Amino acid sequence: MITILKKYNKYLLSLIFIMLTLCLKTNAQQDPMYTQYMHNQQTINPGYVGSNDMLSVMIMSRQQWVGFDGAPRTNLFSMNSKLRYFNVGTGFTFINDKIGPTEQNSFYGDISYHLRLGYRTMLGMGLKAGFDMLQLKLNDLNLDQNNDSAFAENFNQNFILNFGVGLYLYNPKYYIGLASPRLMRNQYDNDGVSSASKGYKERHYFLNGGALFNINHNLKFKPSALAKIVYNAPISIDISANFIYLDRFWFGASHRIDDSFSVMLQYQMTNKWRIGYAFDMTGSELRKYNSGTHEVMIAFDFHLGDKKILTPRFF
């Protein structure tokens, strides 16, 4: 199997883009969405952690549909590193996600093993495990009818356990990922307070890929795509394209099919520090009631050994 992968891994990127373009519809997901998903792969794929021989830290904040009451707000902190002599990556992620009266805090740890398939091609195989804490402040809602039993008590459910798996094939020129960060279909029942409070956290599946092309000495081109699949919901497709000038300045655009258009900027301040910004404008009727979505990312990459970082990271 490994011999086959070594021989044909250069064709896999073409295959994954064909698979992504076959999908035509999009819809909202239960998990947070990110415009800068190509820089935030640890959240969805545990096979990604440790893919760079560095300690990587990321902070991301997303304010969706600014001006719309109760719009989604997401804050993320993640860290991952590689144990150099064991080809093992470890990391963790914390996500705070708010939508209207709902707030969810998620804590997940990751571990991966990286198998060498060729001179510069690796396969990361990862596991993710952790829990969610969900709160729904029903008492804060303004109701048309008082004394509705379905809204009589706030909804609280803590330590909702889950786990996920992921594969991440990569080299300096491309990457392909396939993952499910939550394999368990969790049921939310508010400790049996009422049947109206029951709900489910559906499984999410992610398929993504990207590549890096040298246009000339100063300019690089980096396309990427992401498909999100959720039970009983249309497939969501993100397609993006970034240009990288002098390995420092990133500028590009992204399109979430049937949903939104985005512009992205990133500045590599040093080989260790980088900051990114994305602005989204929805194509739906919601555009009449909000002033867009803002997403800010700050990332830090630090080499733990004696070797210096000679070039910034692209994947």
For residues 246-260, average pLDDT:
92
Within-domain flag for 68? yes
**Using CA atoms, how far apart are residues 210 and 131, in angstroms rounded to an integer?**
30
Cβ(96)–Cβ(134) under 8 Å? Answer: no
Query: 59: pLDDT confidence band, cut at 50, 70 and 90?
Result: very high
How far is the C-alpha of 315 from the C-alpha of 310, rounded, in Å? 15
Work out whether strand 273-282 and strand 260-268 pair parallel, antiparallel, or are unpaired. antiparallel
Question: Phi/psi of residue 156, each to 5°?
Answer: -135, 130
pLDDT of residue 305: 62
Looking at residues 124-140, what average pLDDT do you find? 87
The two tokens of residue 61 are 């904040």
Is 308's pLDDT higher than 90? Answer: no
Domain membership of residue 174 (yes or no) is: yes
Question: Using 50, 70 and 90 to split pLDDT, how confident is the model at 1?
Answer: very low
**Which residues, 6+ apart, have CB-to-CB distance to 140 below 8 Å?**
101
Q: Is residue 76 part of a domain?
A: yes
d(CA 296, CA 275): 8
**Pairwise pLDDT comparison (198 vs 114), residue with the higher score:** 114
In a domain? residue 315: no
Q: How confident is the model over 236-249, as a mean pLDDT? A: 95
Give the torsion sign (CA, 85, 300, 179, 223).
negative
**pLDDT of amino acid 30:** 63
Residue 27: is its pLDDT beyond 50? no
Q: Is residue 122 part of a domain?
A: yes
Which of 26, 89, 2 lies closest to 226 in space, CA to CA? 26
CATH of the domain at 142: 2.40.160.40
Average pLDDT over residues 167-180: 95
Q: What is the pLDDT of residue 163?
A: 94
Structural domain contains residue 314: no
| pTM score | 0.84
Residue 147 pLDDT > 70, yes or no? Answer: no
Residue 248 is part of which domain span? 2-302
What total of structural domains would you count in the chain?
1
